[in-house]
Amino acid sequence: MRKYHDFLLHSASDLNAFLGCAHAAALNLRKLRDPASLPDRATDEEGAKLIQDAGHKHEAAYLEHLKQLGDVAEVTASGSLEHRATATMVAMREGSEIVYQAAFLDQPWHGFVDFLRRVETPSALGSWSYEAVDTKLARAAKASHVLQLGLYSDLIAEVQGARPQAMHIVLGDGTCGCSRPPASYYRSSRRPRGVGSTRISTTGRRTIRPIRSPICPFSTGSPAAACRCATMS
């Protein structure tokens, strides 16, 4: 969650926080609006830094692997969010095989995707389209990862005019997990995003009550097809 110009932007982390505990999301917004109203969150700074450094190394190692396979278009981490989102759209329209540090802005949501992978599936871009690839230190995919990638896939769809057919996670042990969400996932995932953005943004003008977290669609037995990015793992 962040203030950007005159509006509030939400991220996948905010959505996961809201679905886990609406009150926690409300406190996050209160802290953003009035930093002095709440104490700083207690954290293990050394432990957090170790995890962060390990995550950066994992991402960097995968980036080097992709560079050995072909060209990688890198979106600069500097500049405004609009500039980075525009650079991402340019790389997608040019048909780059891999886009690194892709940025998306679709108010009130935004996101930064580790990698976009080109697939030969037609879209508004041409005879190709893109799917999200995210690096995670975890040894197994979690429901929060699926929700995050689902949001990223929706942001990608806004640019290319077609829903990605799969989303990918490169796990900490180097394996690559691939899920092909059913159409029902996109329909059901929009509701918590709409409810979340509305309730978080209107904290202070309405009562925030706990809600039941939705069940990940992949836990219901929906088959996940074989990973198509095995050559990248």
Q: In this predicted model, what pLDDT tens digit does every residue of 90-112 receive, in sequence order? A: 999 999 999 999 999 988 889 99
Rounded to an integer, the average pLDDT of 36-62 is 81
The CA-to-CA distance between both ends of the chain, in Å, stands at 32
DSSP 3-state of 110: strand
- Mean pLDDT (the chain) is 78
Q: pLDDT, tens digit, for every residue of 199-217?
A: 555 544 444 444 444 433 3
pLDDT surpassing 50 at residue 151:
yes
Can you give the C-alpha Rg of the chain in angstroms?
18
pLDDT on residue 223: 33
pLDDT of the residue at 184: 55
d(Cα 162, Cα 187) in Å, to the nearest integer? 14
Q: In what helix (H) or strand (E) does residue 92 lie, and over which residues does it extend?
A: helix 81-93
For residue 192, what pLDDT is reported? 53
**Confidence label for 12 from pLDDT (cuts 50, 70 and 90):** confident
What is the per-residue pLDDT for 155?
93
- Coil vs helix vs strand at 10: strand
Q: Residue 134 in contact with residue 149, Cβ under 8 Å? A: yes
Q: Which residues pair with 131 in a beta bridge?
A: 117
pTM for the full predicted model: 0.73
- Confidence (pLDDT) at 194: 54
179 φ, ψ to 5°? -130, 140
Q: What is the pLDDT of residue 220?
A: 36
